[in-house]
Amino acid sequence: MNKVQLGQSDLHVTPICLGTMTFGEQVDEAASHAILDRSLAAGVNFLDTAEMYAVPARAETCGATETIIGNWFAKNPGARQQVVLATKVAGPSRGMPWIREGSGMTAADIAASCEGSLRRLQTDVIDLYQIHWPERHVPAFGAMYYDPSKERSVTSIHEQLEALGRLVQAGKVRYVGLSNETPYGVHEFVRLAEQHGLPRVATVQNPYCLINRSYENALDESCQRLNVSLLAYSPLGFGLLTGKYDASGIEGPEAPQAGRIARYESVRKQRWGRPEALTAARRYNALAREHGLTPTQLALAFCYTKWQVASTIIGVTSVAQLDEDLAAWGTTLSPELLAAIDAIRWELRDPAI
């Protein structure tokens, strides 16, 4: 895998990134370390985590994923220098009061969160520090429409950039990024950074998969023109695009109980648990089989080969899953197959938005 440059930064990463939100909930520390070992040995140099992980979010596991990764760094002294490390500061609590008090995300919150992540990760610097979700109100995590009456913002984008700038100046953060953002948000962060000499965002981490291509509705143009790189998360649609729920559905005794959608009610209540999402996933999975591919190969190859994607974040619960996802690299999709994918999207749109 040739490395790709993230935005205008000097970060060069593999086009596959190991996501870690399963560490500390579905995956214990020993298994997490085995996955990290295998990922590094396979040549993946990019790790993504967040202060609020593991997922589904609980007070008891908040910060657990970063702690597991920090312990792995401590066991493998040379590993930290071999990877680009990305983590995230959580936005407003969104019903998770253990993350932070109040409804906003102040400059002090950003600074305190960074210190906590550095401590748990057992590192002196974070290579890419991302805002996990906007401080202002936006439609995200299953919401579709922007509603200005819900605006409760207390910290301007300019103030957030100033707080991030102080972390960069202190040498605690190298570059900054966004997540779950909108075209307006990406453009405003870049505009203010350039106007005031503050850190310019290098990346945006948003959902992107066969059942949620909302990134292609204007945000891709914004990022292309502004040179902001997409880190695509949930390329397998929380397992819907692996085919494992095709026959059983996502609930009931026949559903794979180890899967996140079947196991966690909080996940089912969001976009991935919608009946329309499963209906669309079944269509794409059937299409994969018609063309001699597994559903996983089709879903990952779609992300791996799209011009919009700089790096695809894969989340796994075992070394075997990791190997399967890595093996999909190099899979090509014919023009006919891509046209068939677009035909399904035209009919069913983005049910997991």
Active site residues: 53
Instruction: Compute the distance between CA of residue 74 and CA of residue 233 in angstroms, rounded to an integer.
Output: 27
- Give the CA distances from residue 81 to residues 19, 123, 249, 282, in Å, rounded to whole numbers and listed in that order: 18, 10, 43, 42
With residues binned 3-state (H G I as helix, E B as strand, rest as coil), the percentages for the chain, rounded to 5, are 45, 15, 40
Instruction: Compute the distance between CA of residue 233 and CA of residue 315 in angstroms, rounded to an integer.
Output: 9
Beta strand pairing status for 4-5 and 12-13? antiparallel
Instruction: Compute the distance between CA of residue 116 and CA of residue 331 in angstroms, rounded to an integer.
Output: 40
Amino acid type, 88: K
Query: Is 118:126 a contact under the CB 8 Å cutoff?
Result: yes
Instruction: Compute the distance between CA of residue 98 and CA of residue 59 in angstroms, rounded to an integer.
Output: 6
Which three-class secondary structure state does DSSP give residue 23?
strand
**Is residue 268 exposed (0-12), middle (13-18) or buried (19+ Cβ within 10 Å)?**
middle
Instruction: Compute the distance between CA of residue 120 and CA of residue 267 in angstroms, rounded to an integer.
Output: 26
Token readout for 57 is 């979010």
Amino acid type, 304: Y
Beta strand pairing status for 203-207 and 4-5? unpaired
